[in-house]
């Protein structure tokens, strides 16, 4: 997986099509929005509050890009990190309190998923964008449209 990430990181075409696309304005509240927030430099990650992750040496993956490229790279680097953490965890089992960080941000049992907040941001970040950039931006936010359309948590 690390080789794949390195290859993608070096891909000039991928870099050119995602760099500077879908930049999130600094006045948008990104707290609790997972990889999207961490791609703007925020280290907000639910896992830092869990002793089990601390015991494994977990540190949030962050970037300062704030664009589709940064969101892509945070998710890619977190995938590599997840495999590494799983290897370190071995057979340890942890029990939580009903809060997890889903791909689109913090999720609490019985509450709406964070994707609805992304939909409300689209008007702000898509105005004036090129068509190809629109697609890349929306994809990079990883919006769960099912949970948005229902307005209830997906269980």
Residue 3 has a pLDDT of 78
96 or 52, which is more confident: 52
Return the structure tokens found at 8.
Answer: 């993608």
Residue 126 has a pLDDT of 86
Domain ranges within the chain, ordered by starting residue: 2-150
How many CA atoms, within 13 angstroms, populate the side-chain half-sphere of residue 58? 23
Confidence of residue 155 (pLDDT cuts 50, 70, 90): very low
CATH number of 2-150: 1.10.645.10
Instruction: Give the phi and the psi of residue 133 in degrees, each rounded to 5.
Output: -70, -30
37 or 9, which is more confident: 37
Residue 27 has a pLDDT of 83
Q: Give strand ranges (E) for the chain.
A: 99-102, 105-108
Specify the range with the lowest mean pLDDT, choosing from 28-37, 67-76, 88-97, 105-114. Answer: 105-114
Whether 80 shows a pLDDT value over 60: the answer reads yes
Confidence of residue 113 (pLDDT cuts 50, 70, 90): low
Q: What gap in Å lies between CA 94 and CA 137, rounded to an integer?
A: 35
């Amino acid at each position: 997986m690390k080789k794949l990430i390195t290859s993608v990181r070096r891909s000039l075409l991928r870099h050119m099509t995602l760099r500077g696309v879908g930049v999130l304005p600094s006045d948008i509240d990104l707290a609790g929005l997972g990889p999207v927030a961490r791609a703007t430099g925020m280290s907000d990650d639910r896992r830092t509050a869990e002793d089990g992750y601390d015991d494994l040496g977990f540190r949030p993956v962050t970037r300062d890009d704030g664009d589709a490229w940064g969101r892509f790279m945070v998710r890619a680097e977190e995938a590599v990190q997840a495999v590494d953490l799983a290897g370190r965890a071995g057979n340890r089992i942890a029990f939580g309190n009903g809060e997890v960080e889903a791909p689109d941000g913090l999720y609490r049992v019985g509450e709406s998923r964070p994707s609805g907040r992304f939909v409300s941001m689209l008007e702000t970040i898509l105005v004036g964008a090129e068509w190809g950039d629109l697609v890349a931006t929306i994809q990079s936010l990883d919006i769960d449209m099912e949970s948005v359309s229902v307005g209830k948590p997906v269980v």
